[in-house]
Amino acid sequence: MEQARFIHAVDVGGLELLQATYERQRFSRHSHEGYTIGVIECGAQRFFRNGSNHVASQDCLIIVNADEVHDGHAASEGGWSYQAIYPLPAVFAELSDELQLGGLPYFRDSVIHDPLLARQLRQLFRLLAAGQGGNSLQRQALMMDAMAQLMLRHGGQRRSVAMLQEAPLAVQRVRDYIDAHCQDNLGIETLAAIAGLNPFYLTRLFQRTVGLPPHTYQLQQRIALARRLILQGMALRDVAQQAGFVDQSHLNRCFKRIMGVTPGRYGLLPAAAAVLRD
């Protein structure tokens, strides 16, 4: 039986915690605005990141940098159980300034064996799962300390890149446009005109730069919009319409492939989401 729940820690900057056991779940390729930091509790997960596949087994840490394309599915019979949080880059930016580390961290390793940090993260997960009835200051302090330890022990800096040329800037213009109009029925001709490139070249360049083709990136942004609307309390049928999905069933299918839970279960408060089964 597959189980999953999302917890929204409002008192820790809205940090999201996913606790899940999956056997059949297959995450489609996607990226997050925040970093993915998880601990495998049992079984094993196979996932794509940074051009290759990786396997994380029990007690291993899974690390995915912000905006990195990845996926995930079972790598062992019976599936896998894990917990993961998704801190935004702003969290690391603040810590980096305080620790004088010189900018956002880049975690080169996708799978890390660090029992001490895994234990610290599990303690953080337990406190986040307990809800806001406990000590907010304790949760916030443990969150900052765990992220600082992760940066100091496993973080680095992304290799410097040359100044962006016109083509990547054109892709950024298209990306910004999709972000602002993700719910609309966009055509490749419109996007090509914004980029100043022919449609075929734009599609190839966009995927090479972003890691996803334009239509997949648009779907991901629709999911992000749906998440915001759900947390505002909007009815799911209205969320589907506002976010550009055909209907609520279409929203459900796409949402679960990226988020690992259905939209209805994503919006549940922790107290109401003790065990969520598929």
DSSP string, 57-93: ETT-EEEE-TT--EEEEE-STT-EEEEEE---HHHHH
Please identify, in words, the CATH class of the domain defined by 169-268: mainly alpha
Q: Are 59 and 118 in contact (CB under 8 A)?
A: yes
Supply the pLDDT for residue 132: 60
Q: pLDDT averaged over the chain?
A: 91
DSSP secondary structure code for residue 271 in this structure: G
pLDDT in tens, 120-164: 999 999 999 987 655 888 999 999 999 999 999 999 886 544 434
Supply the pLDDT for residue 275: 40
Supply the pLDDT for residue 260: 94
Which amino acid is present at 108? R
The distance of Cα 198 from the centroid of its chain, to the nearest Å, equals 31
pLDDT in tens, 156-172: 886 544 434 455 899 99
The domain ranges of the chain are 3-156, 169-268
The distance of Cα 242 from the centroid of its chain, to the nearest Å, equals 22
Please identify, in words, the CATH class of the domain defined by 3-156: mainly beta
Supply the pLDDT for residue 34: 95
Q: State pTM to two decimals.
A: 0.88
- In angstroms, what CA-CA distances link 126 with 56, 93, 118, 129, 260? 21, 25, 12, 5, 20
Supply the pLDDT for residue 149: 96
Supply the pLDDT for residue 186: 96
DSSP secondary structure code for residue 156 in this structure: B
Query: Within the chain, which residues score under 50 in pLDDT?
Result: 160-165, 270-278
Strand 36-49 versus strand 70-74 pairing type: antiparallel
